Amino acid sequence: KKSIIKKQTRQPHQIMIVPSLVLALSYALLVLFYLSSTSHGYTPSTTPSRRAFINSAIIAGAASPLVASAAGSDPYVPNVEDVKIIGTLGISLDKLAAKVGDSSQWGDASSNLAQFAKDPNFYPNYARNFISKTVKNNAEADPRVGKINLAVKTIISVKDLIDLGTGTDAECKEAVARVRKAQVLIGDFLEGSGVKDERVTKYIAAHR
């Protein structure tokens, strides 16, 4: 009998890196922030279920920005699928804002923020990998990546505020303001991403 060996062809100009740890962390972060699939245009008509939406966001998001295009190939056209995880983070922050605006929910919010802070580089790295599709040198220093860096730091700073606070109205307002600032920064990133999509446009308009 002749053995037939099926060789898997691999595109030489594409490198796919999908660490299982990153997938697990991204899934945990998305779930802990109670992702909303119905806000700002992410309607049930675009995704059959919340679980399917989360899974598709992780699969598309973790893979797509980590694919490098070969020199000389067709120019990359920014796609909404490639920024979905960052857009979803921005939408999910509405839930966090509601929690930190109510001091009786600070304990829950602090736990969520502690989980988020365990991997502060996830979203900045995601943004950098997306930007590297069009910026070949030093994408790390791109101002759009800086927006996501600052957004993540701002979100994490809310934990210290509520952990050390006493639950005053002023503290609640400040906590909410920081979350809203992070949403604006995410909107700035999306606006500069070059993605042309109604969902992105709605998000930007809602967080100016």
Measured in degrees and rounded to the nearest 5, phi and psi for residue 116 equal -60, -40
Percent helix, percent strand, percent coil in the chain, to nearest 5: 65, 0, 35
Q: Give the tokens for residue 23.
A: 């997938």
Using alpha carbons only, how large is the chain's radius of gyration in Å? 19
Q: What per-residue confidence (pLDDT) applies to 163?
A: 97
pLDDT tens digits for 42-59?
333 333 333 333 333 333
- Whether 96 contacts 51, CB under 8 Å: no
Please state whether the predicted TM-score (pTM) of the whole model is above 0.75.
no
Sequence-distant (≥ 6) Cβ neighbours of residue 142 within 8 angstroms: 128, 131, 135
CA-to-CA separations, 121 to 98, 116, 127, in angstroms, rounded:
25, 10, 10
Long-range contacts of 17-21 (CB under 8 A, 24+ apart): 17/66, 18/62, 18/63, 18/66
Q: What per-residue confidence (pLDDT) applies to 75?
A: 86
Q: What per-residue confidence (pLDDT) applies to 41?
A: 42
Q: What per-residue confidence (pLDDT) applies to 47?
A: 34
Q: What per-residue confidence (pLDDT) applies to 46?
A: 36
Sequence-distant (≥ 6) Cβ neighbours of residue 33 within 8 angstroms: 89, 92, 93, 95, 96, 112, 116
Distance in angstroms (rounded) separating the CA atoms of residues 85 and 88: 5
- Whether 131 contacts 142, CB under 8 Å: yes
Sequence-distant (≥ 6) Cβ neighbours of residue 86 within 8 angstroms: 123, 126, 127, 130, 148, 186, 189, 190
pLDDT tens digits for 164-198?
999 999 999 999 999 999 999 999 999 999 999 99
Q: What per-residue confidence (pLDDT) applies to 183?
A: 98
Q: Mean pLDDT in runs of 10 for the chain (208 residues)?
A: 46 42 48 42 36 36 40 79 96 97 97 96 96 90 96 98 97 98 98 95 94
Instruction: Determine the 3-state secondary structure of 203 from DSSP.
Output: helix
Distance in angstroms (rounded) separating the CA atoms of residues 39 and 51: 16
Q: What per-residue confidence (pLDDT) applies to 73?
A: 66
CA-to-CA separations, 116 to 11, 28, 110, 144, 166, in angstroms, rounded:
35, 9, 10, 21, 22
